[in-house]
Amino acid sequence: MDEYFKNQVAVVTGAGGTLCSEIAVDLACRGARVVLIGRTAGKLQSVADRITGNGGTCLIRPGDVTDEGAMKEIATELQKTWGACRFLINGAGGNNAGAITTNTAFEPSELDAERPAGSVGFFDLDLECFETVLHINTLGTVIPCRTFGRTMAEAGRGAIVNFASMNSYRPLTRVPAYAMSKAAIVNFTSFLAAYLAPAGIRVNAVAPGFFVNERSRKILCTPEGGLTRRGENVISHTPQKRFGEARELLGCVEWLLNDEAAAFVTGVTVPVDGGFLTSVGI
C-alpha cells in the first residue's frame, strides 16, 4: 500500500492490453481504486481478477474511448460513487492492418496495373482504416481528457499520462497513420499541460520503446520464437539489445502521476526505450 495512491480514483484506458494491464494492477496494489476501460469485457475481467485476487479494488467499464457519450456516462457515474478521477492513464490505442504498407519505400511496381500479390504501398492504403487509426489514437486520448479531466478540474487537481511512441519522434517505416497519430500525442500533451496548469492538473506522456504485445509479436518475432527481420532491426538499434517488459514502465508512470515527486513536471514526454532514441545505430 502506498499512502499517495491509497483510495484515489485511477481511470486506465486500454486496461486489458499488455502495458496498461500491468499499470492497472500496479496502481491497485498501491491502493488506488482503479476503473478499467476497454472494448472487450473479457480482457478487462482477467485484469480485474488479478486485482481482486491481490485484495485490490476495481470496476470494469467496457467502452470505446472514442465514444464521448459513453465516457461521459462513466465519468458521471464515478463522480457520484467514488468521486472525482485523480489519475487518468490513456493507454487505449493501436494500429490497423489496412493502414500498414508492406513496402518500406516506393517501388515502381506500385504503379503497375498488374500488381505483385500481397504488395501494399502508400497509394494502396485503405483510407477508412487510416482514419480509424488516427481517430483511436488521437480522439481516443482527447475524449477521456475532456470527460475525466473535467472532474479533475472541478476537484482542482489531477494527473494525466498519455501514451506516445518512438514513432512520435521519427516515423518508422510502413505505419504512417500510427506514426502520425502518435506524433500528435506529444503535441497534444504539451498543449493540454499548458492549458490545464491553472486547474491544478499535470499532463505528461510516456513514449514506450518496443514492448512485445499481441499485435507486434507477429511483426517482431517468428513463430519459432526467433526474431523477424524487423525484430532484428529493432534490437540492433536498441542499445540495451532487448525488448522492454511492461513492468519496466511502472516506475516512470508512478513518478509522473505523483504530485509530490513530479510536482513541477508537466507537458513532457518521457521515453522508456532501452536507449532506442539516443542511438543513431552507426
Ligand X SMILES: NC(=O)c1ccc[n+]([C@@H]2O[C@H](COP(=O)([O-])OP(=O)(O)OC[C@H]3O[C@@H](n4cnc5c(N)ncnc54)[C@H](OP(=O)(O)O)[C@@H]3O)[C@@H](O)[C@H]2O)c1
Binding residues vs ligand X (CB under 6 A): 13-14, 16-20, 38-40, 43, 64-66, 91-94, 136, 140, 163, 165, 208, 210-211, 213-216
> Least Å distance between CB 102 and ligand X?
20
Pairing of strands 201-208, 87-90: unpaired
Q: Which is closer to ligand X, CB of 215 or CB of 230? A: 215
* HSE toward the beta carbon, residue 81, CA cutoff 13 A: 12
Burial of 266 (C-beta count, 10 Å sphere; 0-12/13-18/19+): buried
> Least Å distance between CB 91 and ligand X?
4
> Least Å distance between CB 264 and ligand X?
25
Q: For residue 168, give the nearest of 203, 215, 205, 142 by alpha carbon.
A: 205
Q: Which is closer to ligand X, CB of 92 or CB of 262? A: 92
Of the residues 4, 169, 178, 195, which is catalytic?
A: 178
Residue nearest to ligand X (CB): 17
The answer to whether the CB of 106 falls within 8 A of the CB of 173 is no
> Least Å distance between CB 46 and ligand X?
11
Q: Which is closer to ligand X, CB of 146 or CB of 215? A: 215
Q: Residue 230: helix, strand or coil by DSSP?
A: helix
Burial of 273 (C-beta count, 10 Å sphere; 0-12/13-18/19+): buried
- In whole angstroms, what is the distance from residue 207 CA to residue 163 CA? 6
- In whole angstroms, what is the distance from residue 30 CA to residue 257 CA? 12
Is 169 a catalytic site residue?
A: no
The residues carrying an active-site annotation are 178
